[in-house]
Amino acid sequence: MSPDFLFDGAPVVAVDPVLVSILLAPLTIVGAFVWGLLWGSFANVVIWRVPRGMSVVHPRSSCTRCDAPIAWYDNIPVVSFLLLRGRCRRCGEPLSLRYLVVELLGGFISFAFYMLCVVRPLIEGGAPALAAWLLWTTYGLGLMIVTYTDIDLWVIPNAVVLPIAALGIGAALVDPTVLGVGPVEALAAAVGGYAFVALIRWAYLRFRGIEALGLGDGKLLAMVGAFSGAAGVLWAVAAGAIQGLLIAVPMLLLGRKVAATDLQEVHGDDPELGEEDPDAGVMGMRIPFGPFLAIAALELALLRETILDALAWLVG
Ligand SMILES: [Zn+2]
């Protein structure tokens, strides 16, 4: 295969060959995965503490049963979990497998965006987009965090989605090419995503006295619009709803709940909530929409060309 084949169709950009060999080195690619593992470990802290109004810095992490502080050498992503065989060093309490899963998802998110933003453009003769990799990784981690906080406590923390939404709009203002969305579209999609949810929520509260969607869902869609533009908002809503039904209905039929807690128990004293309606949600059960919005948004971020090409083909 001639090198011309690889460069076919993409502009050839002069990149320092030393930089290219560093960025494509297996150790660097592993490093991108490890970078994600470290942030995945931090995401575990955020998922537990932020919806409970706790600081992510103090106090240090400790065992939930015996309160023993967790030493740094027992807090190394993945490695410590495996060495301790998923148990507290002092009391032997099993640690939630969730910690391991979130760390690995963090690693996957960083790795996948490194391949998309750095490795693929280099192979195709373009310039590596390191800033885009960091931005998309932050976005992916944010989507993962709100998926779990919404499943756990029906909360999509402002402290997670609003700064990341601002980051996306800021990036589009500085360089419209970095995320592939210009500042006007990013801002309009962010506002539109929020307004869409706020409008549906208002209509349900006004005419049926129930809260069909939370404003957190709107702020999450604002974050999606800031990064992925109008296509991101539309895909998150449509694919999120379809996939939500495909997953939630079988789960409910099997007698399982999508959320880990009861909405009324967690937020029962919240005057904003509205009245519970037995007809609300799927088969009378309330399900959090945030996780399905977030998963669909991550799909589009990772598979944008494939998804948009497939949709264009479907439309004709
Ligand atoms: Zn313990």
Same domain flag for 221 and 123: no
Phi, psi (deg, nearest 5) at residue 87: -130, 155
Domain co-membership, 39 together with 167: no
Sign of the C-alpha dihedral computed for residues 157, 159, 165 and 171 taken in this order: negative
Cα-based distances in Å from 74 to 34, 44, 212 = 17, 15, 43
Residue 135 lies in a domain: no
Q: What is the pLDDT of residue 12?
A: 62
| Amino acid in position 140 | G
pLDDT at 6: 44
For residue 88, how far is its CA from the centre of ligand 1 (angstroms)?
5
**141 inside domain:** no
In a domain, residue 104? The reply is yes
pLDDT for 195 equals 97
User: Are residues 183 and 284 located together in one domain of the fold?
Assistant: yes
Residue 240 and residue 300 share a domain? yes
262 alpha carbon – ligand 1 mean position (Å): 27
What percent of the chain lies above the pLDDT cut of 90?
69
pLDDT at 275: 46
Q: 78 C-alpha vs ligand 1 centroid, how far in Å?
A: 18
Return mean pLDDT, the chain. Answer: 89
In angstroms, what is the span from residue 69 Cα to ligand 1's centroid?
A: 9
pLDDT in tens, 78-125: 999 999 999 999 999 998 899 999 999 999 999 999 999 999 999 998
CA nearest to 222, candidates 251, 198, 194, 197: 194
Ligand 1: distance of its center to the CA of 87 in Å? 8
In a domain, 248, yes or no: yes
Q: How many CB atoms lie within 10 A of CB 68?
A: 14
Q: What pLDDT was estimated at residue 2?
A: 38
Distance 209 CA to ligand 1 centre (A): 45
Residue segments in the chain with a per-residue pLDDT below the cut of 70? 1-12, 268-284
pLDDT of residue 152: 93
Residue 234 located in a structural domain: yes
Rounded distance from Cα 101 to ligand 1 centre (Å)? 20
Cβ(290)–Cβ(233) below 8 Å: no
**197 and 316 both lie in a single domain:** yes
Residue 294 resides in a domain: yes
pLDDT of residue 64: 81
Is residue 115 within 8 Å of 95, Cβ to Cβ?
Answer: no
Instruction: Count structural domains, the chain.
Output: 2
Instruction: Report yes or no on 309 lying in a domain.
Output: yes
Residue 205: the pLDDT is 87
In terms of residue numbers, what domain contains 262? 157-316
